Amino acid sequence: MSFQPVKFYQTGTFTVGNRLLPPEERSVQSQEKRYNSINSGHRACQGCGEALGARYAIDAAMEATNGRLICANATGCLEVFSTPYPETSWQLPWIHSLFGNTAAVATGIAAALKVKRRQGERRNIRVVAQGGDGGTTDIGFGCLSGMFERNDDVLYICYDNQGYMNTGIQRSSATPPAARTATTMAVGPEPGNVFGQGKFLPAIAMAHDIPYVATATVADLRDLEAKVRRAMEFEGARYIHILVPCPLGWGTASHETIRIARLAKETGIFPVFEAEHGEVKSVVAIRRALPVEEYLRPQKRYAHLFGKTPQVEVIAKLQALADRNIKKYGLLDGGAR
Ligand SMILES: Cc1ncc(C[n+]2csc(CCOP(=O)(O)OP(=O)(O)O)c2C)c(N)n1
Ligand code: SF4
Ligand SMILES: [Mg+2]
């Protein structure tokens, strides 16, 4: 079958228009036989970055494993909106773990599959674990670090919306400084979340020297698909950390999810890169660093920075964090220095 060459710049959307491209260049979602691993009908908020990220990530993992995938899912928005008993949106073997033990449950599944293979099972079934930033960076961190350290054959995906959204927008250790949450209110001399706390889990994952670590956002879904595909090429522990804006918790319009995620990347506040065995191998370069204010201003969780007296010093401290990422990961010239 021959394909019409694409003669114009625009190659279309992620779905129908992609069919103009040669098959190897099309996104997983553009394929007629995409897996629809998380199907329509779930109850995520309109514009939920987590729902979008999960759809692309798990479908890409399904594609990479020819549909031979088992998924363990921590408690959190993704689990709650997709599986209100007795319904489910998932169209793959899927297990709800506790809030804090997803990595351990996935490890157990991977161990059982290993035994089955030793007993002659021919199908190579792989395991993915997924959870929110709270389930990953806080309560599930011990199990996850153990999974990394043992190099268990699991791909762990963290959907980072920077707070405990499912239970009413409380702070997690991935909540950025100055952001307002239900437990870091915009009151007092230093409104919002404090500076100097929290953790960037991709760097901690890299410190375990696991085969593959990557970050991504829902603004570049092709990059996300490619990273999931790449992750599935490795045996052992792998980690992908996806920034997924949450319209409810961040106070953004539903139709702004992609733009906000893109601004996180283009300002440098969220570095997008991939690493193998603890070394950064590639970064997604930013064309020109946008001021961090462009990312902060549309989000109501930062509204207290832009009141009658703009908090210029706080904004400057956030800009410094973005600048540090740009330098550390070489985001302007496409490679770590
Ligand atoms: C041991 C335990 N503590 C607390 C909870 C309540 N709980 C359920 S989901 C959740 C927050 C989830 O946050 P996150 O992992 O970031 O996922 P999100 O909802 O933001 O996607 C909390 C505190 C629980 N289910 N189990
Ligand atoms: S609260 Fe946020 S993460 Fe949860 S479903 Fe709504 S938009 Fe998604
Ligand atoms: Mg969260």
Higher pLDDT among residues 91 and 20, named by residue: 91
Question: What's the domain count of the chain?
Answer: 1
Q: How far apart are CA 30 and CA 248, in angstroms?
A: 28
> Which of 99, 143, 144, 241 is the best mutation target for the ligand 1 pocket, counting ligand atoms within 8 Å of the beta carbon and taking the most?
99
CATH of the domain at 269: 3.40.50.970
Chain segment 144-201, per-residue pLDDT in tens: 999 999 999 999 999 999 999 999 999 999 999 999 999 999 999 899 999 999 999 9
For residue 22, pLDDT beyond 90: no
Q: pTM higher than 0.75 for the full model?
A: yes
Ligand number nearest CA of 256 is 2
Which amino acid appears at position 270 of this protein?
F
The answer as to whether 119 is a domain residue is yes
* Mean pLDDT, residues 85-103 taken together: 97
> Which of 43, 48, 162, 167 is the best mutation target for the ligand 2 pocket, counting ligand atoms within 8 Å of the beta carbon and taking the most?
48
CA of 117 to the centre of ligand 2 (A): 38
The answer as to whether 2 is a domain residue is no
The answer as to whether 228 is a domain residue is yes
CA of 7 to the centre of ligand 3 (A): 42
Strand boundaries in the chain, DSSP class E: 69-73, 94-96, 126-132, 155-160, 212-217, 238-243, 273-276, 279-283
Q: How far apart are CA 78 and CA 43, in angstroms?
A: 9
Nearest partner of 175 among 145, 148, 196, judged by Cα:
196
Confidence band (pLDDT; 50, 70, 90) for 30? confident
* Mean pLDDT, residues 208-223 taken together: 97
The answer as to whether 3 is a domain residue is no
Q: Which domain holds residue 49?
A: 33-329
Ligand number nearest CA of 167 is 1
What pLDDT does residue 24 have?
77
The answer as to whether 296 is a domain residue is yes
For residue 336, pLDDT beyond 60: no
Nearest partner of 4 among 15, 25, 19, 16, judged by Cα:
19
For residue 253, pLDDT beyond 80: yes
Confidence band (pLDDT; 50, 70, 90) for 337? very low
Q: Give percent of the chain above pLDDT 70.
A: 93
The answer as to whether 260 is a domain residue is yes
Ligand 2 atom closest to the Cα of residue 47 is 7
Confidence band (pLDDT; 50, 70, 90) for 68? very high
Q: How far apart are CA 235 and CA 277, in angstroms?
A: 12
The answer as to whether 123 is a domain residue is yes
For residue 316, pLDDT beyond 80: yes
Q: How far apart are CA 83 and CA 71, in angstroms?
A: 13
- Are 172 and 141 spatial neighbours (Cβ–Cβ below 8 Å)? no
What pLDDT does residue 25 have?
77
Ligand number nearest CA of 254 is 2
Ligand 1 site residues (CB inside 6 A) read 50, 75-78, 99-100, 131-135, 161, 163-167, 172
CA of 116 to the centre of ligand 3 (A): 35
For residue 5, pLDDT beyond 90: no
13-22, 87-96, 277-286, 321-330: least confidently modelled range: 13-22
What pLDDT does residue 13 have?
55
Chain segment 294-307, per-residue pLDDT in tens: 999 999 999 999 99
Chain segment 121-152, per-residue pLDDT in tens: 989 999 999 999 999 999 999 999 999 999 99
Q: How far apart are CA 253 and CA 241, in angstroms?
A: 23
CA of 232 to the centre of ligand 2 (A): 27
